[in-house]
Amino acid sequence: MSVIEDIAVSEQQVLVTGGSNGIGRAVVQALCSAGHRVALTYRSDSASADAVVKQCSGLATAHHLDLASRSAPKELIDRLEQDGPVVGLVNNAGMQSSSLLAMTSDTNWDQMIDINLSGAFRCCRAVLPFMVRRRGGAIVNISSLGAERGIAGQAGYAASKAGLLAMTRVLAREMGRRGIRVNSVIPGFVETGLTAALPESARATLRAAECLPAGTTANSVADAVAFLLSDRASSITGESLHVDAGASC
């Protein structure tokens, strides 16, 4: 984790949105295994969030967050800051639904942008005043290959994830002089709740492009996130790191 030198490491924490399941859960576990404090969020699955907290032997706390609420990110981050500085933010929570663009309702489009892109925007906006004051911090946004490739049925999802890549570059430029790094990770296909409903043909298409037969695991995405948050990545900002078993090469 990117450590702020004049604050005890034991007080510093990383906020991982959507840390109750899938990739987010792996990120929480990777950070806690390395001895970092983590605040993870869940929206509906408090049982899974509690299970992750238990596994993390006192280093993780679980918090409800629905990114559909405009005020919730600031309320949560203000509350967390009273308990210890939030020096890292992982904008991981996200949703996906498939429909051909011509059949996509306004409601569905708006929801995709609101949760996946505007939610991350509001989390960044809420944490930045604290990070700027301390002149340090690191943010990682979880995007998707859909941001770069035309996958039928994914217009809203792809637009939200492409927006995250653009926001990452702008924020890196705005915040570099203030000691804050901002990067993205672009995972390939990972078996999680989000992808469980994909038809076999869609999985086959997504996996066909991979160079590595084992594909992409949530743990390998988590390791990349942990690296980008850490001081080992101190010269890296505005970057998008593919963790996709070579699918995009």
Ligand X SMILES: NC(=O)c1ccc[n+]([C@@H]2O[C@H](COP(=O)([O-])OP(=O)(O)OC[C@H]3O[C@@H](n4cnc5c(N)ncnc54)[C@H](OP(=O)(O)O)[C@@H]3O)[C@@H](O)[C@H]2O)c1
Closest CA to 49 of 69, 35, 29, 34: 29
Residues 135, 87 contacting (CB under 8 angstroms): no
Q: Report d(CA 184, CA 53) in Å as an integer.
A: 25
CB neighbourhood size of 188 (10 A): 23
Choose which of 144, 154, 220, 237 interacts with ligand X (CB under 6 A).
144
Residue listed under structure tokens 């690296």: 227
Strand ranges (E), 35-114: 37-42, 60-64, 86-91
For the chain, the C-alpha Rg in angstroms (whole number) is 17
Closest CA to 127 of 179, 86, 181: 86
Give strand pairing partners of 64.
Answer: 42
Least distance from ligand X to the Cβ atom of residue 151, Å: 11
157 is an active site residue: yes
Q: Which positions from 149 to 188 touch ligand X by CB under 6 A, shown as an x/- string?
A: --------------------------------------x-
Choose which of 171, 190, 233, 247 interacts with ligand X (CB under 6 A).
190
Choose which of 27, 30, 65, 112 interacts with ligand X (CB under 6 A).
65
Choose which of 38, 128, 142, 175 interacts with ligand X (CB under 6 A).
142
Total residues at the site for ligand X (CB under 6 A)? 30
Closest CA to 23 of 237, 216, 249: 216
* Between 132 and 159, CB nearer to ligand X: 159
Least distance from ligand X to the Cβ atom of residue 87, Å: 21
Q: Which positions from 15 to 44 touch ligand X by CB under 6 A, shown as an x/- string?
A: --xx-xxxxx-----------------xxx
List residues near ligand X by CB under 6 A. 17-18, 20-24, 42-45, 65-68, 92-96, 115, 142, 144, 187, 189-190, 192-195
